[in-house]
């Protein structure tokens, strides 16, 4: 037990004086904090010395609150702007030509886009509509021949046909010794009765093994095609341009299938200068074998195409009995290469406008420019895994 008068705090608890009451401090109308007048340092934490509210202080506080509110309300528009920016960047990425910067050859930037400019000499008048019979066709041809003036600078008839065959044979024999080449190809074709838009492509060709790489510069820009004889089960590897190509990746398509025939008159196995020369040579040799019956040929010298000297051969047929598909052919043969570098073929028409006959009956238009030979193409140039092509497999 504790004795009376013990110094123990417990014993003297009830004898201690009562604590002074806690003063109620005034409240700041701005920061809502208690202000202690006796502690100036506490005032500096919230309110300026002197009166609790001054006009300038209140205005500053209101501005601070407005800034906080603006930051909170601006988060929504900022997020929307970020989403829109991401979508735009994604769209540009998907539609950008899939070539790594700095790896594209200089020929791509310097390629001639569009058809070549042709300065055509006067040509023989062709029948506007289909002749009623073979005899009528021969009569029309005799009338045209009789009316046409004789130009001593123009070689005509069988001699012109023989000269054409001689040039093409010589060019094929020489070009067969070329391992590879690069060129710009312009192509326009009529498929299913409809004349399509012209397309410009970059072309790489290797003769052994026969390999082709194509890249579209117009039309489906960015589309790429690879074909190598004996690889990919005989199929072409195609990546479409733009978004479709990025999403679908590389497609394997039969070069002789229905899908290919919807987009081209000839399979990829017949692409290139050498194959085109051989195809034309077959037609000319057939005409010679038929003793040039129903066909007329003339050659014009001193012609220019893409700043290169050429011969122009104009071949016309009297009726479909002599050529089922072609009514007229205009062929430019490069004098140095002895190869066809441009050909425009026209088909038959019924009741065509005489002033727009060629325009309405154009069926094929092929032109080669920027031809570079001996560039030593290798397997990676015809490989879909080539990093420069960025083809998704």
pLDDT digits (tens, 9 = 90+) for 316-344: 999 999 999 999 999 999 999 999 999 99
226 contacts 383 by C-beta, under 8 angstroms: yes
Residue positions counted in the chain: 393
Question: What interhelical angle do 273-289 and 157-175 show, nearest 10?
Answer: 150
Verify cis geometry, omega within 30 degrees of 0, for the bond prior to 242.
no
Give the model's pLDDT for residue 243: 87
Contacts of 389 (CB under 8 A, 6+ apart): 98, 99, 224
pTM of the model: 0.70
Q: Which fold has domain 106-382?
A: outer membrane lipoprotein receptor (LolB), chain A (2.50.20)
Map residue 341 onto helix, strand or coil: strand
Summarised one tens digit per residue, pLDDT across range 62-112 is 656 656 666 666 566 677 777 877 776 666 555 555 554 334 555 555 566
Rg (CA), the chain: 42
Which burial class, exposed, middle or buried, applies to 30 when counting CB atoms under 10 A from its CB (0-12, 13-18, 19+)?
Answer: middle
Summarised one tens digit per residue, pLDDT across range 8-63 is 555 555 566 666 666 555 555 545 554 444 444 444 444 555 554 566 656 666 65
313 contacts 345 by C-beta, under 8 angstroms: no
Sketch the domain layout of the chain as residue ranges.
Answer: 31-73, 106-382
pLDDT more than 70, % of the chain: 65
Q: What angle do CA 311, 342, 346 make, to 5 degrees?
A: 105
Residue in 160, 187, 193 with CA at minimum distance from that of residue 297: 160
Structure token digits, residue 378: 């290798």
**Cα–Cα distances in angstroms (integers) from residue 325 to residues 16, 267, 299, 347, 352, in the given order:** 126, 18, 22, 6, 16
Summarised one tens digit per residue, pLDDT across range 238-294 is 999 988 888 899 999 999 999 999 999 999 999 999 999 999 999 999 999 999 999
Q: Is the pLDDT of residue 126 over 80?
A: no
């Amino acid at each position: 037990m504790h004795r009376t008068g013990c110094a123990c705090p417990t014993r003297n608890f009830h004898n201690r004086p009562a604590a002074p009451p806690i003063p109620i401090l005034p409240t700041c109308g701005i920061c809502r904090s208690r202000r202690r007048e006796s502690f100036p340092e506490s005032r500096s934490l919230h309110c300026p010395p002197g009166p609790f509210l001054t006009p300038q202080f209140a205005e500053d506080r209101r501005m601070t609150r407005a800034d906080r509110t603006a930051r909170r309300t601006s988060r929504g528009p900022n997020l929307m702007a970020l989403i829109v920016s991401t979508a735009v960047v994604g769209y540009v990425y998907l539609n950008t030509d899939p070539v790594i910067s700095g790896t594209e050859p200089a020929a791509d930037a310097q390629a001639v886009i569009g058809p070549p400019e042709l300065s055509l000499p006067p040509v023989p008048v062709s029948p506007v509509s289909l002749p009623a019979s073979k005899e009528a066709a021969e009569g029309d041809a005799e009338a045209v021949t009789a009316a046409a003036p004789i130009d001593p600078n123009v070689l005509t008839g069988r001699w012109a046909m023989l000269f054409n065959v001689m040039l093409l044979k010589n060019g094929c024999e020489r070009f067969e010794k070329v391992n590879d080449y690069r060129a710009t190809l312009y192509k326009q074709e009529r498929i299913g009765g409809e004349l399509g838009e012209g397309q410009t492509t970059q072309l790489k060709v290797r003769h052994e093994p026969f390999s082709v790489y194509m890249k579209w510069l117009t039309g489906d820009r960015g589309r790429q095609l690879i074909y190598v004889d004996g690889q990919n089960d005989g199929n072409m590897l195609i990546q479409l341009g733009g978004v479709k190509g990025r999403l679908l990746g590389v497609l394997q398509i039969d070069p002789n299938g229905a899908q290919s025939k919807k987009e081209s008159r000839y399979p990829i196995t017949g692409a290139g200068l050498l194959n085109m020369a051989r195809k034309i040579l077959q037609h000319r040799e057939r005409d010679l074998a038929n003793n040039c019956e129903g066909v007329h040929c003339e050659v014009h010298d001193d012609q220019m195409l893409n700043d290169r000297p050429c011969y122009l051969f104009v071949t016309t047929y009297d009726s479909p009995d002599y050529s089922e598909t072609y009514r007229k052919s205009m062929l430019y043969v490069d004098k140095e290469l002895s190869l066809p570098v441009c050909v425009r073929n026209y088909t038959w028409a019924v009741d065509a406008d005489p002033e727009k006959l060629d325009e309405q009956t154009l069926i094929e238009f092929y032109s080669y420019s920027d031809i570079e030979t001996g560039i030593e193409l290798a397997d990676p140039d015809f490989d879909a895994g080539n990093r420069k092509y960025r083809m998704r497999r």
